[in-house]
Amino acid sequence: MIIQRLFLIAATCAGLSTTAQAADMKKLTVAGGCFWCVEADFEKVKGVKEAVSGFAGGTVANPTYKQVVAGGTGHYEAVQITYDADVVKADTLLNLFFRSVDPLDAGGQFCDRGDSYRTAIFAADPAQKQAAEQAKASAQAALGKPVVTPILPASEFYPADAYHQDYYKQSSLILTRFGPKSKANAYKAYRKACGRDARVKQLWGSDAAFVPGS
């Protein structure tokens, strides 16, 4: 009888522990241009469980990558970040987000132009909206110029296909204009050629997030 009671207590505590951990996991969806880059950046942050590349803010269900970049669906290239709120807070992630993009650019990001590459934050609830507004105000004060990144209501998030997930660390080969390269190496070449880190460093200086040497 005692053993049975101990077993039930242990099982109950384990169940409560699992529930508590699950309750601490939250999601934040942001658009910062190329979703490969945003995913790669935020998966480096302590407390982030995963970052998934996809699409948000549009009017077409289950859009394909080709549909989104062609325009007309209203979607942004976005990344949904799942994080442990006991380890990292939403305001920290949002401040990192602003300092990893060019929030002054209304036409896209870096070499990627067009509506699907614009910046945005999709607020999931009032608390997240307030945190986003505070982070935006902080970014605007730091830059001394109007920040154009909108804070939008959360919308349906559609993950991109497997080809685009974890692109920055895949070893599979693809054909580029420079010949066959792994996706990881193609990603590095693209990021440098697109000028992402250079522009973020120019804009934010020592506060630039995810830029080597900042």
Active site residues: 34
How far does the chain reach from its first CA to its final CA, in angstroms?
62
What letter represents residue 100's amino acid?
S
* SS3 per-residue string spanning the chain: CHHHHHHHHHHHHHHHHHHHHHHHEEEEEEEECCHHHHHHHHCCCCCEEEEEEEEECCCCCCCCHHHHHHCCCCCEEEEEEEEECCCCCHHHHHHHHHCCCCCCCCCEECCEECHHHCEEEEECCHHHHHHHHHHHHHHHHHHCCCCCCCEEECCCCEECCHHHCCHHHCCCEEEECCEEEEHHHHHHHHHHHHCHHHHHHHHHHHHCCCCCCC
Residue 164: CB partners within 8 Å, gap ≥ 6? 35, 36, 53, 65
